[in-house]
Structure 1
Amino acid sequence: MIDARFRKSATPPGRTARPVIGVLCCNETSARPVQAVATRFITPLSQYSEAAVVLVPAVRDDANIAALTLLLDGLLLTGSRSNVAPECYGGAPLPAGQRCDPDRDAVALALAGGMIEAGKPVFGICRGLQEINVLFGGTLSAATCAERHHRGSWDGCYQDLFGHCHDVELGAGGLLAESTGRRRMRVNSVHEQGIDRLGNGLAIEAVAADDGLIEAVRARPCGADVLGVQWHPEWDADRSAESRAFFGLIGQSLRTAAAAR
């Protein structure tokens, strides 16, 4: 018999089951290759989206896209220290020092595509926004960012790295503008490439106030929300109402899509 200390009800009394959201991992190397995702992406999904989180390995040869698409109610494509490989969108080679993660590219694009076609919501943060743009046929470029959108080192102080901020303008009537009640807000900026050509069928949710770089996109191609932001709302969700609103949108979209199925 299982010890009584470890027996837990699958659904606590008085609470409904939470929707299940997949969070895509990245390939990192310690002594050996490992799957990794920062804890800061998980906590807001539990607290503010009220979702149950399942980590999705970014291992191309072992990813069962069909099974994952059936299992998950939604998907979050996280930020990463790596960039989408230029081969995915016909772009120029990345500048020296910028890393790629081909397995992450393959799993992200295939799984996000499968989820969207199944009428399930997909969300993106930073690299995730760029993956969504590529999935819809758009392109990326490091030239769109230059030195304006990334300051510091991935191996340095993360407080300094994520402390680099700028203003974005939110489109009237967009999901972000309606959820935050704002038309302009300040966000962090931690990315080495950005959207060059917007993907087909994507609508612009936000642009950088200083240089016009596309900072957020949305779509509903198959009945469920697709939403990506270039900044990192997971970094300060405990301190920022606007960042919490992003995760609130995730929870709302998960439940709306689940109710429609």
Structure 2
Amino acid sequence: MRFACCGSDDGPIKPVIGVLCCNEVADRPIQAVATRFVHPLVRYAGATVLLVPAVADVMDTRALAGRLDGLLLTGSRSNVAKARYSATDAVDDAIDLDRDAVALELAGRMIEAGRPVFGICRGLQELNVLFGGTLTETLQDGHYRSTADETAYESLFDHVHDVDLQSGGLLANATAQRRISVTSVHRQGIDRLGGGLTVEALAVSDSLVEAFSAQPCGGNVLAVQWHPEWDVEGNASSRAFFSLLGQSLGT
């Protein structure tokens, strides 16, 4: 084996984007992230991906935020715990408390450092909570709620509905469209929008906030309720989401 020692030039170094994992169990506790979130970050955002463990008691989010160029908060099979945004004593199901803790703390540090933070599905919900907003599980029939564990994986993403992009927003400018069809799989949605967030998209069926943006400390924050990573190869508006992330990273 030959080694390339210091001084070799393999071209420009790609920015590193952190992708937050989730806590799942496959015979034993594991850190997991769906592979479909990784490919678009490389192909359309021009980034190198670093998986971030959602293990709250060992994560040094301050050190990590100083090394990452950006952060993607992915979708997940878990919900944000109600204690994060509500004083109700309702019983939670399908929660991941460590994911909540790492996502909110790391995203907050990244935003304060002026680095881009993007969110998909659960990621949108986490960012809304981070900005002081609240969530609801009372969604109208126009939104698909994943509730049956036995549902076939592929069929989860069969549900498509329309959203209106807000004029002058990041998504409207990037797609050159005012209405797009999106794929949704979620049980929580935005109730009260967080402070300082700008609406990017509304559901046609009931005006649920489906996307928002912000730039509180110089870095772009952009989150969508739908799943652009699912149909990214054949959908220009989905690719636009990841291209916007790449632009925010300076690629």
With the shorter chain as reference, the TM-score category is over 0.9
1:237 to 227, 232, 238: 232
Q: For residue 103 of structure 1, what is the aligned residue in structure 2? A: 98
Paired residues for 1:193-232 under 5 Å = 193-232=188-227
Q: Secondary structure at the match of 1:166?
A: strand
Report deviation, 1:224.
0.7
Q: CA RMSD in A?
A: 2.1
Contact 1:23 1:56 in 2 (8 A): yes
CA distance in 2 between partners of 1:44 and 1:11 (Å): 28
Query: Residue by residue, what CA displacement relative to the aligned partner does 1:218-243 show, whole Å, maximum 9, x if unpaired?
Result: 00000010000000000111111111
Q: For residue 41 of structure 1, what is the aligned residue in structure 2? A: 37
Corresponding position: 1:60 with 2:56 = yes
Q: Secondary structure at the match of 2:232?
A: coil
Corresponding position: 1:249 with 2:251 = no
1:115 to 110, 119, 126: 110
* Corresponding pairs, count: 251
Q: 1:57 to 1:219 in 2, by over 3 A?
A: same
Q: For residue 88 of structure 1, what is the aligned residue in structure 2? A: 84
Paired residues for 1:10-49 under 5 Å = 13=10, 15-49=11-45
Contact 2:119 2:224 in 1 (8 A): yes
Q: For residue 259 of structure 1, what is the aligned residue in structure 2? A: none
Contact 2:164 2:179 in 1 (8 A): yes
Q: Secondary structure at the match of 2:180?
A: strand
Percent identity, please: 58
Q: For residue 131 of structure 2, what is the aligned residue in structure 1? A: 136
Report deviation, 1:155.
3.6
Q: Secondary structure at the match of 2:250?
A: helix
Contact 2:22 2:54 in 1 (8 A): yes
Amino acid aligned to 2:67: L
Q: Secondary structure at the match of 1:186?
A: strand
Report deviation, 1:12.
6.5
Report deviation, 1:144.
3.1
Paired residues for 1:143-222 under 5 Å = 143-145=138-140, 148-150=143-145, 153-222=148-217
Corresponding position: 1:50 with 2:27 = no
CA distance in 1 between partners of 2:232 and 2:108 (Å): 28
Q: 1:165 to 1:67 in 2, by over 3 A?
A: same
CA distance in 1 between partners of 2:67 and 2:220 (Å): 18
CA distance in 1 between partners of 2:229 and 2:106 (Å): 22
CA distance in 1 between partners of 2:56 and 2:155 (Å): 34
Unpaired runs of 5+ residues, structure 1, are 257-261
CA distance in 1 between partners of 2:202 and 2:62 (Å): 35
Q: Secondary structure at the match of 1:232?
A: coil
Query: Residue by residue, what CA displacement relative to the aligned partner does 1:41-89 show, whole Å, maximum 9, x if unpaired?
Result: 0000001100000000000001101110111000000000000000000
Report deviation, 1:153.
3.2
Q: 1:95 to 1:232 in 2, by over 3 A?
A: farther
CA distance in 2 between partners of 1:44 and 1:191 (Å): 21
- Bigger mean CA deviation after superposition, 151-160 or 181-190: 151-160
Q: For residue 71 of structure 2, what is the aligned residue in structure 1? A: 75
Report deviation, 1:7.
5.9
CA distance in 2 between partners of 1:198 and 1:160 (Å): 30
The TM-score normalised by the length of structure 1 is: 0.91
Amino acid aligned to 2:72: L
Amino acid aligned to 2:152: C
Amino acid aligned to 1:43: H
CA distance in 2 between partners of 1:138 and 1:212 (Å): 17
Unpaired runs of 5+ residues, structure 2, are none
Amino acid aligned to 2:130: L
